[in-house]
Amino acid sequence: MLGLVVPLASIGQIANACTAPERPFLPERSEDIREYADLLRSDFEGYIADIQEYFRCLDAERQRAFHEAQEVSRDYGRLVEILE
């Protein structure tokens, strides 16, 4: 007898992973900061751009998860209604 298989999670739907950027390194010594100023400035500016992208990713993921939760809630309501 063949049974109906209902997946609990959608196969093929991969969550968009938001990965926080690595915090830039700032040397302790003023002399080192001055010596590597261009490199450090570039690292910090890159971090600022990356963290903004990270925040946008988190916002998008939150919105996606919220809509998914609404759909699941409606589906659960239908399940309960059918089983009553």
How close are the terminal C-alpha atoms of the chain, in Å? 27
Q: Give residue 33's Cα distance to chain centre.
A: 33
Mean residue pLDDT across the chain = 88
Measured CA angle at 42 (ends 50, 47), to 5 deg: 20
**Is the predicted pLDDT of residue 9 greater than 50, yes or no?**
no
CB 54 within 8 A of CB 18: yes
pLDDT tens readout for residues 22-47: 999 999 999 999 999 999 999 999 99
Predicted confidence band at 11 (pLDDT cuts at 50, 70, 90)? very low
pLDDT of amino acid 16 = 60
The mean pLDDT of 44-63, rounded to a whole number, is 98
- Of residues 79, 21, 25, 10, the one with CA closest to residue 54: 21
The mean pLDDT of 70-82, rounded to a whole number, is 97
